[in-house]
């Protein structure tokens, strides 16, 4: 909690003070190649005013959108932190590099990247870039390296430090600004309410529970409404941090020499959001501003979050490795992706395997463990006040039929098909409709072809699962131990 308060304190510092502390940057135009700065935010959907969200002001991210290009349909390849970040930093789908199980390779057994695959900072270092990862606040920041969360083995030397201030004169930088985003609101009611109070202290007002919208599969229960209101306050704090970093870039005279990208690692952490392949879990904001980027453009084509690697290399004038799956949507002659794909695998101790393919018209989801409930036992999610409240409402029969059918059905369909542009919450599964049999067959073929191309052949080996679970159990977690026993029992039953 202390580090969280420290972060919030930094956010509310005056931009004028920040600009006064960081005047030692390069003169405007001094860098022969552009700097590249990523904002990578935890647990946040496109709940920004530039994306049409109501009741939440995000003036700094809106500015990036006005002065750059906004992608309406950007999607992560994994709806949970470590696989998403492993994919992002390599420009490779996580299943193609064996990094698809959340928090894997942390035990005795390790994960090595396939031959020829290198993290983006290492490639940029070879090209002469100063690589850094932190909060982007320079002298007034906390001085710590930012979140990585990669599932594979990597050399810490790929980052020269936490900030670009330490670079050599004239040297371009690659900076990853890592922000807690939706995680700011915490998991318990106490932290949820504390963040809303801080929003009042900081901004003069907080978003009220009655002013928020919820997907139809969540009840308008006071606990869920308070949580969503606090989440929107977290969005405001994130935008404020973005503003401080932009002010620093302007004060140093290098904003227009810097490619700035704002994105999140996946969607909001909620029952049907984070960890799942519906829009709530995989749709992310993506805004790009900087040299050569069209201004004031809103693009409707499908892009994947791994494409940031290709965009970055192109800006730096570095050839993209032939094995890299990322594509540069700003490249001359670029042909938009016909489909984007996503995968969910083990999340902490909870075993699942879900795959999806999305086209401009359809979202197809394949559940490989349909006999397991959507909300399997999971210590992380079950520790959240919102999930605990949903379970209470389910136990008392207080949910409506739609909420029951989507959140608490005992078994899931093996296949799901949604006309997602119209069905934006994915509540009407059309997989069994004969009228869409041809579309279903086409999407099934696309997904199977993608899985084969990525070498996505099966579940996690039991030895690797046991290796990582030993790390989870080391602090003493009876809830995790019970869940592991459940996973193993279900596997034995073929469930």
184-223 pLDDT, tens digit per residue, is: 999 999 999 999 999 999 999 999 998 899 999 999 999 9
Give the separation between CA 107 and CA 178, rounded to whole angstroms.
25
Give the chain's mean pLDDT. Answer: 93
Cα angle value 441/442/443 (rounded, 5°):
95
CB-count burial class (<10 Å; 0-12, 13-18, 19+) for 424: middle
- Measured in whole angstroms, the distance separating CA 26 from the mean position of its chain's CA atoms is 32
Instruction: Tell which of 278, 299, 334 closes a domain.
Output: 334
Could you tell me which residue, 22 or 485, shows the higher pLDDT?
485
Burial class (CB in 10 A: 0-12, 13-18, 19+), 46: buried
Asked whether residue 242 is domain-assigned, the answer is yes
Dihedral pair phi/psi, residue 212, rounded to 5°: -100, 155
Looking at residue 161, the DSSP 8-state letter turns out to be B
pLDDT over 60 at 18, yes or no: no
Q: For residue 458, what pLDDT band results from cuts at 50, 70 and 90? A: confident
Let me know whether 320 and 386 are in one domain.
no
Task: Specify burial of residue 240 (Cβ count, 10 A radius: 0-12, 13-18, 19+).
Answer: buried
Is there a single domain that holds both residue 165 and residue 299? yes
Residue 40: inside a domain, yes or no?
yes
pLDDT band at 457 (very low <50, low <70, confident <90, very high): confident
Tell me the HSE value of 296 on the side-chain side, using a 13 A CA sphere: 0
Q: 217 and 366 share a domain?
A: no
Q: Is residue 406 part of a domain?
A: yes
pTM confidence score: 0.93
**Residues β-bridged to residue 390:** none
348 in a domain, yes or no? no
Q: Examine residue 28 and state whether it is found in any structural domain, yes or no.
A: no
The answer on 130 and 169 residing in a single domain is yes
124 pLDDT more than 50: yes
Residue 269 lies in a domain: yes
Q: Measure the CA angle with vertex 177, ends 229 and 111; round to 5°.
A: 100
Cα distances (angstroms) measured from residue 317 to each of 88, 127, 159: 19, 9, 20
Angstrom CA distances, 306 to 134, 225, 471, stand at 20, 33, 29
Q: What is the pLDDT at residue 7?
A: 47
Residue 23 reports pLDDT greater than 90: no
Question: Can you tell me the distance from the alpha carbon of 372 to that of 369, in angstroms, rounded to the nearest whole number?
Answer: 6
Q: Do 371 and 466 fall within a single domain?
A: yes
Q: Which residues contact 73 (CB under 8 A, 6 or more apart)?
A: 283, 299, 300, 301, 302, 303
pLDDT at residue 59, as a whole number: 98
Same domain, 298 and 395: no
**Domain with 187 in it: what CATH number?**
3.40.720.10
Model confidence pLDDT, tens digit, residues 224-253: 999 999 999 999 999 999 999 999 999 999
Do residues 390 and 464 both lie within one domain?
Answer: yes
Provide the residue range defining the domain that includes 156: 2-23+34-334
- Alpha-carbon distance of 214 to 226, in angstroms, equals 11
344 to each of 7, 203, 205, 490, how far by Cα in Å?
Answer: 30, 37, 37, 18
Q: How confident is the model at residue 84 (pLDDT cuts 50, 70, 90)?
A: very high
| Residue 349 belongs to a domain | no
Which of 301, 334, 367 finishes a domain? 334
Same domain, 304 and 368: no
Work out how many domains the chain is built from and give that number.
Answer: 2
User: Is-contact 272 374, C-beta < 8 A?
Assistant: yes
Identify which of 140, 240, 138, 135 has the alpha carbon closest to the alpha carbon of residue 179: 135
Q: Is the pLDDT of residue 3 over 60?
A: no
What is the Cα–Cα distance from 224 to 110, expressed in whole angstroms?
39
Residue 324: pLDDT over 80? yes
Q: Of 334, 369, 385, which one is at a domain's C-terminal end?
A: 334
In this structure, are 123 and 196 located in the same domain? yes
Nearest-angstrom CA–CA distance, 44 and 41: 7
The verdict on residue 489 lying in a domain is yes
Radius of gyration of the chain (CA): 22
Residue 1: pLDDT over 70:
no
57, pLDDT greater than 90: yes
CA–CA dist 374, 369 (Å, integer): 10
């Amino acid at each position: 909690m202390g580090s969280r308060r420290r972060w919030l304190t930094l956010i509310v510092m005056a931009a004028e003070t920040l600009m006064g502390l960081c005047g030692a940057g390069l003169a405007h135009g001094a860098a022969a190649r552009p700097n590249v700065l990523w904002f990578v935010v935890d647990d946040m959907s496109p709940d920004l005013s530039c994306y049409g969200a109501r009741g939440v002001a995000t003036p700094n991210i809106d500015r990036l959108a006005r002065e750059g290009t906004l992608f309406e349909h950007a999607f992560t390849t994994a709806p949970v932190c470590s696989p998403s970040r492993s994919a992002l930093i390599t420009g490779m789908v996580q299943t193609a590099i064996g990094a698809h199980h959340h928090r894997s390779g942390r035990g005795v057994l390790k994960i090595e990247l396939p031959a020829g695959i290198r993290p983006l900072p290492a490639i940029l270092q070879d090209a002469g870039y100063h690589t850094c990862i932190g909060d982007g606040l320079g002298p007034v920041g906390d001085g710590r390296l930012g979140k990585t969360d990669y599932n594979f083995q990597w050399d810490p030397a790929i980052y020269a430090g936490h900030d670009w201030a330490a670079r050599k004169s004239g040297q371009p930088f690659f900076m990853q600004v890592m922000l807690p985003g939706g995680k700011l609101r915490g998991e318990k009611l106490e932290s949820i309410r504390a963040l809303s109070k801080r929003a009042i202290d900081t901004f003069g007002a907080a978003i009220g529970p009655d002013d928020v919208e919820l997907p139809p599969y969540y009840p308008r229960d006071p606990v869920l409404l308070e949580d969503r209101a606090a989440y929107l306050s977290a969005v405001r704090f994130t935008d404020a941090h973005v503003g401080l970093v932009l002010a620093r870039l302007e004060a140093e005279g290098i904003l227009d020499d810097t490619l700035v990208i704002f994105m999140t690692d996946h969607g909001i952490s909620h029952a049907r959001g984070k960890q799942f392949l519906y829009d709530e879990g995989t749709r992310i904001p993506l805004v790009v501003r900087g040299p050569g980027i069209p201004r004031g453009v809103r693009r409707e084509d499908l892009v994947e979050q791994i494409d940031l690697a290709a965009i970055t290399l192109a800006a730096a004038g570095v050839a993209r490795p032939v094995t890299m799956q990322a594509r540069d949507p700003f490249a001359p002659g670029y042909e938009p992706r016909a489909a984007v794909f996503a995968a969910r695998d083990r999340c902490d101790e909870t075993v699942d395997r879900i795959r999806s393919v999305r086209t401009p018209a359809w979202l197809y989801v394949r559940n490989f463990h349909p006999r397991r409930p959507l909300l399997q036992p999971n210590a992380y999610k079950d520790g959240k006040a919102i999930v605990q409240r949903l379970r209470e409402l389910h136990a008392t029969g207080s949910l409506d039929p739609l909420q029951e059918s989507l959140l608490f059905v005992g078994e899931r369909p093996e296949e799901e098909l949604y006309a997602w542009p119209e069905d934006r919450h994915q509540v009407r599964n059309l997989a069994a409709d004969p009228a869409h049999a041809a579309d279903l067959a086409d999407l099934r073929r696309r997904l199977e072809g993608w899985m084969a191309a990525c070498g996505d052949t099966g579940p996690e080996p039991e030895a690797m699962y046991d290796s990582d679970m030993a790390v989870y159990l080391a602090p003493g977690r009876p809830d995790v131990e019970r869940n592991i026993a459940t996973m193993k029992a279900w596997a034995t039953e073929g469930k």
